[in-house]
């Protein structure tokens, strides 16, 4: 029987495969959204500590799903927002894409930290991941709330139970997610960089 991690890993490996295909330089927005919408279950498994991240992530993915009815590729939404001069405007598709990419990267960093330690508590792994990926872009209030929430994280065995995984099976799948998500994250970053949009926001 498939677990949530199986489904997520499979979807991101497909995205990575699409990006590795010779001549395939554009990623379809609907295909990207389908994969991203699966990730929200990981945030909910982390409980209250990541509630803020889950709510923001889910809202932004929903907005991009709506946008996929109008725009075919990730390239298109960026080019449209550049033309309208609203790339960094709250609610713009380009900003939403940036935040979704941050969510994917947060899970990647969390998995990497999870795999690097055998701690029963996830506090260290999650705090480090948050500090690396999200904290530089969050206000003091949000950062304070996030770090306070780290005390409510499930323990390692509780998380594995929620994901329906063993230590061994989770390790393999988390490594696969890390490997598959990196080219997707890099692809999104390159979309901005190639249009002279800095990534420090």
Domains and CATH numbers, the chain: 4-193 (1.10.3520.10)
Distance CA 41, CA 39 (A): 5
Distance CA 144, CA 149 (A): 9
Distance from the first to the final alpha carbon of the chain: 40
pTM above 0.85, yes or no: yes
Burial classification of residue 191, based on how many CB atoms lie within 10 Å of its CB (0-12 exposed, 13-18 middle, 19 or more buried): buried
> pLDDT of the chain along its 201 residues, tens only?
789 999 999 999 999 999 887 555 789 999 999 999 999 999 888 877 788 778 889 999 999 999 999 999 999 999 999 999 999 999 999 999 999 999 999 999 999 999 998 888 888 889 899 888 888 888 888 888 888 888 888 899 999 999 999 999 999 999 999 999 999 999 999 999 999 888 887
Distance CA 190, CA 80 (A): 17
CA 66: distance to chain centroid? 18
Distance CA 128, CA 113 (A): 8
Distance CA 60, CA 37 (A): 10
Distance CA 188, CA 160 (A): 30
Distance CA 51, CA 146 (A): 9
CA 109: distance to chain centroid? 10
Distance CA 34, CA 65 (A): 8
Q: With contact defined as beta carbons under 8 Å apart, do 34 and 27 qualify?
A: no
Neighbours of 154 (CB within 10 A): 17
pLDDT value for 89 = 93
């Amino acid at each position: 029987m498939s677990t949530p991690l199986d489904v997520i890993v499979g979807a991101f490996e497909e995205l990575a495969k699409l990006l590795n295909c010779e001549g395939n330089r554009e990623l379809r927005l609907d295909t990207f959204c389908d994969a991203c919408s699966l990730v929200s279950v990981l945030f909910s498994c982390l409980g209250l500590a990541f509630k803020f991240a889950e709510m923001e992530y889910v809202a932004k993915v929903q907005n991009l799903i709506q946008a996929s009815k109008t725009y075919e590729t990730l390239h298109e939404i960026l080019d449209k927002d550049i033309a309208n001069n609203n790339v960094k405007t709250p609610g713009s598709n380009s900003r939403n894409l940036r935040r979704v990419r941050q969510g994917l990267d947060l899970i990647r960093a969390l998995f990497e930290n999870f795999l690097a330690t055998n701690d029963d508590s996830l506090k260290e792994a999650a705090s480090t991941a948050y500090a690396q990926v999200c904290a530089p872009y969050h206000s003091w209030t949000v950062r304070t709330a996030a770090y306070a929430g780290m005390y409510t994280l499930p323990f390692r065995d509780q998380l594995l139970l929620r994901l329906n995984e063993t230590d061994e099976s989770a390790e393999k799948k988390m490594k696969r997610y890390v490997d598959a998500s990196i080219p997707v994250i890099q692809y999104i970053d390159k979309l901005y960089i190639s249009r002279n949009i800095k990534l420090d926001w």
